[in-house]
Amino acid sequence: MVLPAGYIPGFVCSLATCDVKKWGFIHYQPSMAGNVLFLIIIDVLGLAQIILGIKYKTGLVCVSMLLGLACESLGYIARILIHYDPFNRAYFLWYLICLTIGPVFMAAAIYLCLGRIVVIYGESISRIRPRTYTVFFMGCDVVSLVVQAVGGGIAASVPLTNQKMIDLGTHILVAGLSLQVASLFAFTVCSLEFLFRVRRHESERNPRHADLYNSSRFKWFLISLGVAAICLFVRTVFRSVELSGGFSGHLANSEVQFMILDGVMVIIACTCLTILHPGIGFGRKWKQAKFPFRGERSAEEELAAAEETTTESPRNEPKVVVGHYYDQPRAR
């Protein structure tokens, strides 16, 4: 966002009066066809997530995905507007902030699935409790989101002539993206380590859910979750490198690389989480795989308690003594 020589405060550029490669906030006009296509795909995926979230009652996963897709949709609307006016700072910041923070919510949806996967295979196999996985990675996600929002807010609020503060906002934004990269990397390592332990300790798997984790449907769901995480990781690494070079750098002004390494990666991730939605992957066991927060009983514990209750003999069952039938002593 470096001001070109000859900048006149208050002068409003247009495509008829200014060269976009010199004066535009991004040095090209975004492709109308490409951005409209991506917007349509994102909105279709959003509609599918609403339907699937309601059908399978996936709660926070549904909310996280919808927030992420809403940010992506707004970001591509901004890019379409930039096509007509690449000199509009509001459109530029709208696009920058929305498409930067959107995948943070999608990563949260992925993090929420790991704890339930641990419950399905057996909590005794994991080194870490399901709740700890979720709290830690969701915490990292929240911090990353706040840092990115602060960085974007600083870059958006200061005058164009204050390059020092604009650079500060950009550096904070990159720090937030770097934290997201570290979080996704740590999540991938923890997931692989847990799956390695699952293969190594087959005898400790939870037999209650054997029908699920032995099914091809669940295995494909795990693959799709891994592909989604890898795509978001690639996208976040790209955005970190892109923004570390500044808004005037080569990567920040290359539409082809942006559309592939950001747009396509996010769409692949969202498609994986829609076609093999967590509700589809877990089926009716999504609710049973719920793990406790703040001392609550898990769904597994509640189910076990219910089974124990049904196996116990009733306390006040009728008794037969020497051919006589009686229930409770009668009052005299």
Low-confidence ranges of the chain (pLDDT < 70): 1-11, 293-332
Residues 39 and 263: their CA atoms lie apart, in Å, by: 10
User: Whose structure tokens read 């570290």?
Assistant: 182
Residues 173 and 101: their CA atoms lie apart, in Å, by: 10
- CA 141, 130, 58, 229 torsion: positive or negative? positive
- CA 220, 221, 224, 225 torsion: positive or negative? negative
- Specify the pLDDT at position 19: 86
Q: What is the largest CA-CA distance in the chain?
A: 111
- Specify the pLDDT at position 331: 45
Q: Under 8 Å CB-to-CB from 230, ≥6 apart: which residues?
A: 188
- Specify the pLDDT at position 240: 92
- Specify the pLDDT at position 327: 46
User: Whose structure tokens read 């514990």?
Assistant: 301
pLDDT one-digit tens code per residue, 93-106? 899 999 999 999 99
CB atoms near residue 42 (< 10 Å) = 25
- CA 131, 132, 138, 143 torsion: positive or negative? positive
Q: Are 203 and 158 in contact (CB under 8 A)?
A: no
- Specify the pLDDT at position 163: 81
- Specify the pLDDT at position 7: 54
CB atoms near residue 30 (< 10 Å) = 20
Distances (CA, A) of 11 to 39, 110, 152, 164: 32, 46, 24, 22
- Report which residue type is found at 131: R
- Specify the pLDDT at position 152: 85
User: Whose structure tokens read 């690389």?
Assistant: 257
